[in-house]
Structure 1
Amino acid sequence: MIKINEMEIPTLDDLQFSEKKVLVRIDINSPVDPETGKLLDYSRIKAYSSTIKELIEKGNSVVLMSHQGRPGDNDFISLEEHSKLLNKYLGASVEFVDDVIGPYARERISKLKPGEILLLDNVRLISEELIEASPLQHAKSFLVRRLSPLFDGYVNDAFAAAHRSQASLVGFPMILKSSAGRVMEREVLALSKIFNPDDSPKVFVLGGGKVLDSLRIIENLVKRKLADRILTGGLIAELFAVAKGIDLGRDNINILEKKGLLSLIPRARKILLSGGPIEIPVDFRVEKEGKVIEEPSSKVTGAIKDIGLTTMNIYSSFIKEAKVIVMRGPMGIIEDERFREGSKELLNNALESPGYVIIGGGHMISMLGSRDIESTKIHVSTGGGALLLFLAGEKLPALEALNMSRGVGK
């Protein structure tokens, strides 16, 4: 049982499914090439192999359920290619069923033998899955009522979709014996460190271009006194610099204005006045007349593209002393090799520090490259929107449903 935010989340260790028929909600929603319709990234598909293998090794039969894209979008496709990739990473046969709740799907599930694995087609083919409602309401949905009688238990391993209150995520725990899967468990255990007072000091490194998202996270961290230091980069750093009264030059102000970010200055100023532990760069790496130079934040004349060397050293000193380091969003325009150094330096210092490192957001994860990850010290979140809302202090319906499920089906 994992305890977090006054919730208790059952795990596979608590329920110990053995020789049962188990429905497993995973999230293998992956980027799709709009031209070919082929998957571009397989990392999420690979991540679920541990949960599935464990269930199969205990004599269970497993039915997998996931979504892919949204109706009307280019990435709203069948899960047939996903099933072939699951075959590869599991080293076991995964049968694709071109159906979700129809007669063929239910018949095939009812005849499933121990050790067999099925992958149902895209659950968003069912219109109910696009509705946000309470767990008790979703327990009455056709999706849940038609499938739940066929199963002995339910495992939610889809942390990346945990911020959705949809039927496949919150309805089944109201009826079936339920637990978190290993991917979900790792996510929740890692994030629980943020709330553990013994794991201090905590340093959050927030950058990138999603300013409103970062601002929501910072407001929650400051309100709940969860962060010892919040190190800012990217556009969120520029916003706080302007809120502090620093003149970043007309060009940079124009960029903030064009992105509609100047209206957020009062919120940023309120955080600063409340004593929030916000650190802003003391220097920037800028582009001016085609050249890359470094300028102090008090005398910026070029276009800001990265944090400067002095800021890198200051931020690195905080990172090296931290017990928990959360990194979300780059410090600069990492698509341009000239402006990757700030993000690269802080990431390297975090990975070499004695602290526990949580990395979220596609840009920071991409900077890991092919390096080996020590799982006991580094957690790479599959989260996306779920991680964002968790850090912003909002409840995750899928976790709430698992907490509510304790005692169901026993």
Structure 2
Amino acid sequence: MGGLTIPTMDDIDIRSKKVLLRIDINSPVDENGKIIDDSRIKAHVETIKELIDKDNSVVLMSHQGRPGDKDFISLEEHSKLISKHLNREVIFVDDVIGPYAREIIKNLKNGEILLLDNVRLISEELIEAPPQQHVKTFLVRKLTPFFNIYINDAFATAHRSQPSIVGFPLVLPSAAGRVMEREVSALARIFNAEDTPKIFVLGGGKVHDTIRIIENLMRTRIADRILTGGLVAELFSVAKGMNLNTKNMEILERMGILSLVPRARKLLLSGAPIEIPVDYKVEINGNVIEEPASKITGVIKDIGPATVEIYSSLIKDAKVVVLRGPMGVIEDERFRDGSKSVLKASLEGWGYVIIGGGHMISALDKDMKIDNNKVHISTGGGALLLFLSGERLPALEALSMSMTNRVMNNAS
């Protein structure tokens, strides 16, 4: 992936060791601080089980929220949910690097699992710096002596250059966990020259981010077609000189999207294979109406049926489909059809499908069958964005450095 070789759990001896496992169980919480979605917690069960089955003792490390935010809470509830999904006890300690935590780690027996408290209680964890600098942090220096191995299974934080992500690989034999490994191998297909045509379905409201992605897709010449929806489609429609009416233009102006028109126009002029909707579902005085893109009178809320048909036929012939961001305002049931239809076409096609971002995942219907051999649902928000934007991910760089160091040490 991007020229990096990442060690996996198959590349190191992980039997009867003391393992530090960095996971990402950062979960949405309600106003009372209770977890309302434990999907990220469930994702790591496979890696933890494999390590326990190989007679290791496992210390889990994760963050939750940021200091000052309402979701910056203890990981005590997380430990109970991990216990439930593993069907075995997970010890929780309300400490990270203090004497209490270190004593429990020291006495942990093979087969036992310990979850440390929120790693962001340690202020160093909020600092972005190179791995060589993070090796010197208290977090890394205090904990390293107690472990034989470090495993990073936290792809969703792979874009962070923080001590728990990049510090330990330079001082401990390290590898990617199963979640990280799956993410890396799925995303590697985006760069595989043999997997073509590749279609990117890009929508939603994060237009600044999506422009960066499209600019990288053009630099690398990866995308055969880019199908747009949501505010992304509106931006490129304006860049093509289409009249979206005063109300839609006011919305784009208010959101700071019209400032991106010159960049969008430059992409179009450079030959970017960008498709824009030919019709939309719009709202007029609370009523839903279908209108051609050339004669928009209402507020745009979703792509229309003709666009769905065109997009679906293109998707079904693709070898790789990457979906990021919805086609419409999916929070409103009346405007979910566009997103659901392109998802359905992707799942029914014969290509490999990568679904990134919570909004597209939420558009999945219960009756949509997910074939795990050909569908990858990414856990990474910011990490996936940076990857698609062509930037290196510090977590992967650190794991690669760990592998290089190990090879050089063995050679000498």
Which TM bucket (shorter chain)? over 0.9
Residue of 241, 257, 264 corresponding to 2:260? 264
Residue of 221, 238, 244 corresponding to 2:240? 244
Residue of 310, 317, 320 corresponding to 1:321? 317
Counterpart for residue 194 of structure 1: 190
Q: Check if 1:217 corresponds to 2:213.
A: yes
Q: Structure 1 residue 373: deviation in Å?
A: 2.5
Residue of 163, 166, 183 corresponding to 2:159? 163
Q: Counterparts of 1:49 and 1:161 in 2: how far apart (Å)?
A: 18
Counterpart residue type for residue 320 of structure 1: K
Counterpart residue type for residue 67 of structure 2: P
* Paired-residue identity, %: 69
Q: Counterparts of 1:86 and 1:67 in 2: how far apart (Å)?
A: 15
Q: Structure 1 residue 381: deviation in Å?
A: 0.4
TM-score, L = length of structure 2: 0.97
* 3-state SS of 1:382 partner: coil
Counterpart for residue 21 of structure 1: 18
Residue of 72, 75, 86 corresponding to 1:79? 75
Q: Structure 1 residue 408: deviation in Å?
A: 4.0
Map Cα deviations across residues 215-271 of structure 1 (whole Å, 9 max, x no partner): 111111111101001000000100000000011111111110111111100000000
Map Cα deviations across residues 186-209 of structure 1 (whole Å, 9 max, x no partner): 000000000000111000001011
* Contact kept? 1:203, 1:319, Cα under 8 Å: yes
Counterpart for residue 106 of structure 1: 102
Q: Structure 1 residue 372: deviation in Å?
A: 4.8
* Contact kept? 2:347, 2:370, Cα under 8 Å: no
Q: Structure 1 residue 355: deviation in Å?
A: 0.6
Q: Check if 1:50 corresponds to 2:23.
A: no
Counterpart for residue 404 of structure 1: 401
Which residues of 2 match residues 329-348 of structure 1 at below 5 A? Answer: 329-348=325-344
TM-score, L = length of structure 1: 0.98
Counterpart residue type for residue 331 of structure 2: E
Q: Counterparts of 1:143 and 1:373 in 2: how far apart (Å)?
A: 40
Q: Counterparts of 1:407 and 1:113 in 2: how far apart (Å)?
A: 31
Q: Counterparts of 1:373 and 1:146 in 2: how far apart (Å)?
A: 44
Map Cα deviations across residues 112-138 of structure 1 (whole Å, 9 max, x no partner): 111000000000000000000000100
Q: Counterparts of 2:240 and 2:365 in 1: how far apart (Å)?
A: 36
Residue of 377, 380, 383 corresponding to 1:383? 380
Q: Check if 1:121 corresponds to 2:117.
A: yes
* 3-state SS of 1:100 partner: coil
Q: Structure 1 residue 55: deviation in Å?
A: 0.5
Q: Structure 1 residue 368: deviation in Å?
A: 1.8
Counterpart for residue 65 of structure 1: 61
Counterpart residue type for residue 377 of structure 1: K
Residue of 286, 289, 299 corresponding to 1:290? 286
Say which is worse superposed, 364-373 or 252-261, in terms of deviation.
364-373
Map Cα deviations across residues 34-69 of structure 1 (whole Å, 9 max, x no partner): 2x1111100000000000000110111100000000
Counterpart residue type for residue 27 of structure 1: D
Q: Counterparts of 1:250 and 1:217 in 2: how far apart (Å)?
A: 28
Q: Counterparts of 2:15 and 2:369 in 1: how far apart (Å)?
A: 33
Q: Check if 1:395 corresponds to 2:392.
A: yes
* 3-state SS of 1:403 partner: helix
Q: Structure 1 residue 290: deviation in Å?
A: 2.6
Q: Counterparts of 2:185 and 2:103 in 1: how far apart (Å)?
A: 37
* Contact kept? 1:177, 1:407, Cα under 8 Å: no
Say which is worse superposed, 330-339 or 149-158, in terms of deviation.
330-339
* Contact kept? 1:237, 1:281, Cα under 8 Å: yes
* Contact kept? 1:176, 1:408, Cα under 8 Å: no
Q: Counterparts of 2:211 and 2:321 in 1: how far apart (Å)?
A: 18
Residue of 143, 149, 162 corresponding to 1:147? 143
Q: Counterparts of 2:340 and 2:222 in 1: how far apart (Å)?
A: 25
Counterpart residue type for residue 385 of structure 2: L
Counterpart residue type for residue 22 of structure 2: R
Say which is worse superposed, 287-296 or 11-20, in terms of deviation.
287-296
* Contact kept? 1:173, 1:408, Cα under 8 Å: no
Counterpart residue type for residue 379 of structure 1: H
Point out where structure 2 has 5 or more consecutive residues left out of the alignment: none
Q: Counterparts of 1:283 and 1:222 in 2: how far apart (Å)?
A: 26
Q: Check if 1:273 corresponds to 2:273.
A: no
Runs of 4 or more consecutive aligned structure 1 residues displaced over 2 Å after TM superposition = 369-373, 407-410
* 3-state SS of 1:304 partner: strand
Map Cα deviations across residues 58-106 of structure 1 (whole Å, 9 max, x no partner): 1111000000000111000000000000001111111001110000111
* 3-state SS of 2:282 partner: strand
- State how many pairs are aligned: 406
Q: Counterparts of 2:208 and 2:139 in 1: how far apart (Å)?
A: 35
Map Cα deviations across residues 5-31 of structure 1 (whole Å, 9 max, x no partner): 110000001113111000000000000
Q: Structure 1 residue 291: deviation in Å?
A: 2.0
* 3-state SS of 1:348 partner: helix
Q: Check if 1:351 corresponds to 2:352.
A: no
Q: Counterparts of 1:131 and 1:287 in 2: how far apart (Å)?
A: 46
Q: Structure 1 residue 407: deviation in Å?
A: 4.5
Counterpart for residue 34 of structure 2: 38
Counterpart residue type for residue 177 of structure 1: P
RMSD: 1.0
Counterpart residue type for residue 108 of structure 1: I
Counterpart residue type for residue 397 of structure 1: P
* 3-state SS of 2:124 partner: helix
